[in-house]
Amino acid sequence: MDIQLFNTLTRRRERLEPVSPPKVGLYTCGPTVYNYLHVGNYRTYVFEDGLRRALRFLGYDVQHVMNITDVGHLTSDADTGEDKLEVGAARTGKTAWEVAAFYTETFVEDSKKLNLLPPHVLCRATDHIPEQIELIRRLEAKGFTYRTSDGIYYDAAKFKDYGRLMGASHQEGLKAGARVELSPEKRNPSDFAVWKFSPKDKKRQMEWDSPWGRGFPGWHIECSAMAMRYLGETFDIHCGGVDHIPIHHTNEIAQAEGATGRPFVKVWLHGEFLLMNKAKMAKSAGGFLRLADLEEKGIGALDYRYLCLTAHYRKQLDFSWESLEGARSAHRKLADRAQVLAREAKGGGDADARESLLERFRACVADDLDMPGALATTWDALRPGGLSDADQLAFLQEADTVLGLNLCAVAGELPAELRKLLDERAAARRNKDFSTSDELRKKLAELGVLVEDTPQGQRWVRR
């Protein structure tokens, strides 16, 4: 089935037409690893994982590349301030390299908890310095760069499409971005560093030789260089949060297309923010939450993933503990149902009825990733009196390849000691010894087995 996606570049929904179908090249901007990620960041990664799963579900063969920014991202987007990694090193007393390794590891661990499919290529900026230098050389050869006292800059005025991604004219584009103070050496406010020289007064931990002098790459050049290295000069889909539209992605396009003279990316997709107290959740804004903070309150990573699925990726999502609690209970209900079905569903059903619901599910997914619609269809499929248990289970198994909630993973038999407690409880109930049966219910709950009494006897789910 075809997929329709809203392309930031054209500001309309378009049918995806990959360069070489059924292959789809997908690049997603990864984290800057100087601190823990907050759940706002993870909203973007959950959306991108949903895209990747949706493409697979619809029959595409995705090659997913994600970068790790471990150098060059300065504290100010105006190409001033310090490298975030060096700041992280000063804060923690570790080396910049250790800081990068530590937060990359925490990102990978959190990603596993969120059931994010690992990228086929996870590439570090520091491992691709030669590719970045080569791209800057190409830009230099075509006259796109100039030298100032602190680095090599991209002259945005030389790129005729500068600002197109944000819907700005060339003139507007040159003035846009976050560059409030125009450094006297910059030709246009939007010009940005592709290579920064190491400061003379301070030793940097991360620096390399280059044709222009010792230093380090600007932030944006890594993504243009690595995306083209792994996906080719023109590829299919590039994603990130909406904050990347005016600067980072605008500059990625200017670098790549400036160098190659070809379109860089066919479809740009941007995820909206998770808001905290009406503002973007951000590391700099205080009040940010990590997955670990949610876990402390008994809310699992997949409960949070469920919350993300309840909002369309192009709509802002307000963080609140109430909505998170609601997501947790809905997710647990769904997961419990899946477990019981996996254990008990037998026999056949009505394949046509199941297929028509799956068709609806597929249509939601293909409609610019309508995950709230896909979730609603999933609940419809579980409605009593509708599909047979076997069909419900088959539906859930398919749907979960897109939802990524790990619904069908915990089923299976109980270890013998837990089975024994369940049997003892059943015996206690038969003997109308309700105090023992209540005690055993509590004990089982502590061991992660929740028991419910139904007309057919005890039913249990494992958490």
**Residues forming beta bridges with residue 12, ordered by sequence position:** 7
Please, which residue, 55 or 223, has the CB nearer to Zn ion? 223
CA separation for the pair 319, 241 (Å, rounded):
16
Span from 24-32, 41-49, 78-86, 111-119 in contact with Zn ion (CB under 5 A): 24-32
43 binds, among Zn ion, ligand AMP, none (CB under 5 to 8 A by kind): ligand AMP
Binding mask 172-211 for Zn ion (x = CB under 5 A): ----------------------------------------
223 binds, among Zn ion, ligand AMP, none (CB under 5 to 8 A by kind): Zn ion
Binding of residue 269 to Zn ion (CB under 5 A) = no
Binding of residue 66 to Zn ion (CB under 5 A) = no
Binding of residue 254 to Zn ion (CB under 5 A) = no
35 binds, among ligand AMP, Zn ion, none (CB under 5 to 8 A by kind): none
Sign of CA dihedral 406, 274, 86, 152: positive
CA separation for the pair 150, 152 (Å, rounded):
7
CA separation for the pair 322, 300 (Å, rounded):
15
Sequence-ordered list of residues with C-beta below 8 angstroms from that of 454, at least 6 positions apart, any chain:
none
Q: At what angle do helices 39-57 and 389-403 cross, to 10 degrees?
A: 120
Binding of residue 223 to Zn ion (CB under 5 A) = yes
The residue with its CB nearest to ligand AMP is 241
CA separation for the pair 302, 397 (Å, rounded):
16
14 binds, among ligand AMP, Zn ion, none (CB under 5 to 8 A by kind): none
Sign of CA dihedral 129, 131, 132, 136: positive
Please, which residue, 162 or 273, has the CB nearer to ligand AMP? 273
Whole-Å CA distances, 415 to 426, 436, 453, 458: 17, 21, 20, 17
CA separation for the pair 416, 400 (Å, rounded):
29
Least separation, in Å, of the C-beta of 281 and ligand AMP?
A: 4
377 binds, among Zn ion, ligand AMP, none (CB under 5 to 8 A by kind): none
274 binds, among ligand AMP, Zn ion, none (CB under 5 to 8 A by kind): ligand AMP
The type of residue at 359 is E
Please, which residue, 134 or 424, has the CB nearer to Zn ion? 134
280 binds, among ligand AMP, Zn ion, none (CB under 5 to 8 A by kind): ligand AMP
Binding site for ligand AMP (CB under 6 A): 29, 31-32, 40-41, 43-44, 240-241, 243-244, 271, 273-274, 280-282
CA separation for the pair 243, 284 (Å, rounded):
14
| Contact residues: Zn ion, CB under 5 A | 29, 223
